[in-house]
Amino acid sequence: MSSTGVHDIGGLEEEFGPIDLREHGYQLWEMQVHATLVLLAQQGLLTTDELRRSVEALPGHTSMSYYHRWAAGMTAICIERGTVSAADLNMAHGEPELSVGQQSLVTGQVVRVRREDARVRWRKPHLRTPGYLFGAVGVVERFLGCFPNPEEKAFSSNQEAGLQPLYLVAFKNKDLWKGMDVHGHDGITAEIYQPWLEIIDGKMETNQDPKDNVVRDIKVSSSKVDHGDHVHDTRHETEAEALRRETVHEDPIGEKTGQVLLKLLLEKKVFEINEVRKVVEKMDNTGKMLLGQQLVVKAWTDPEFKQRLLADGNAAADELGMVASNANAPTKFIVVENTSSTHHLIVCTLCSCYPSSIMGMAPPWYKSRSYRARAVREPRKVLLEFGLRLAAEMCLVVHDSTADCRYMVLPRRPEGTDGWGEKELIGIVTRDCLLGVAVPRE
């Protein structure tokens, strides 16, 4: 099946897996990143569509935590729009080493090509190292001299690029292309800059680890890569770590990315820290204010309000003093009603669009790649993992929130609750009911 990018995972079986239903709170830096988006959007310095485009283009998309992607994407847009400059960013992060300048490898040395560094400076890089060689092992044939770094020149037209040693490196075809009919002595040479090469101790080794079912032509590697100040783990370790970060949220690089952007924007007086605090406080309290639950209970007890809510969610919410549109972009709030014959389920397969103004911060599982991939393709199995089994005759409708609409489910009122008061009714309407993965229980 076709996909428009790494973010577009609806129905992709490669992303199938159990959905981690564990809950966790958000760290302060994550909420500050969210607040930064709100404030930049309110000042016309960023749009949600710009953020989506930037996040989708991040080369390290799948290995970053959710708010790491937001922080990196917003930084790219701020540089693009001139809100901050690349020089500002370099100063805040510490200037990278722009030039190696001196030859450190010799002819005959066994080297491995490093994997693409996901921590590039916020935009899709101009790489002169071909992807099929990432992680490949070869031998240095000759030193070609020192040349201006093309990856730096591609983005730094106003300054002289640093010099980098360039080598001709030889590779064996049999090591590069698994399963293809290649002659044992055939090979390839490529020109590789020194920062992309790491020394391998000992004799020439194969690129294919028999314990790791990695195929060279899908550009993955089983090697650990040391970039000096940080180490890239194996592909499997990286994927496991990315999944773990979705629930534990230990992401020091993402945290630093968000903090550096916030620091720059505060220094430039784009907004004040008190404004950030107010947005964070509002987000933190939204879930506790039970806005979604209040809408449901009002609809259960007022049939006329229910019809207005289903016809125009934004206007109905406004009747109760609620703003249903998300703070960072004008959104249409659509409420869909569960009935005796139809059940509704909410997902966003492209990112994690969610009615945060009504329901607070999205739960981790809602943003997970497993939920986003599976909800549109095997929704009944997904509901079973949440403990909800639908009758075979029940029609299940999945709403994929892919653009400017945000959805909430109006669940069926349980029988036997006719005499209940508002507080009792609110107590049985959970966030999961509003997303369609649960139903109210007496």
How far apart are alpha carbons 138 and 129 in whole angstroms?
Answer: 14
DSSP H helices in 249-386: 252-267, 273-289, 291-301, 303-311, 313-319, 356-359, 364-367, 369-374, 379-385
SS3 label, residue 244: helix
Contact by Cβ (8 Å): 55, 70: yes
First to last CA, the chain: 42
- Pairing type for strands 163-172 and 137-148 reads antiparallel
List pLDDT tens digits, range 342-392.
Answer: 999 998 887 778 888 888 778 778 887 788 888 888 889 888 887 788 998
With residue 225 as reference, give the H or E element that holds it: strand 225-226
**Quick one: angle between helices 252-267 and 28-42, nearest 10?**
40
- Pairing type for strands 225-226 and 231-232 reads antiparallel
| Residue 6: band (very low, low, confident or very high) from pLDDT cuts 50, 70, 90 | low
| Residue 237: band (very low, low, confident or very high) from pLDDT cuts 50, 70, 90 | very low
For position 119, what pLDDT does the model report?
36
Rounded (10°) CA dihedral 67, 249, 376, 442: -120
Q: Tell me which of 23-27, 272-276, 294-298 is least confident.
A: 23-27
Instruction: Tell me the catalytic residues.
Output: 348, 351-353
- As to burial, measured by CB atoms within 10 angstroms (0-12 exposed, 13-18 middle, 19+ buried), residue 418 is exposed
Q: Is the pTM of this model over 0.75?
A: no
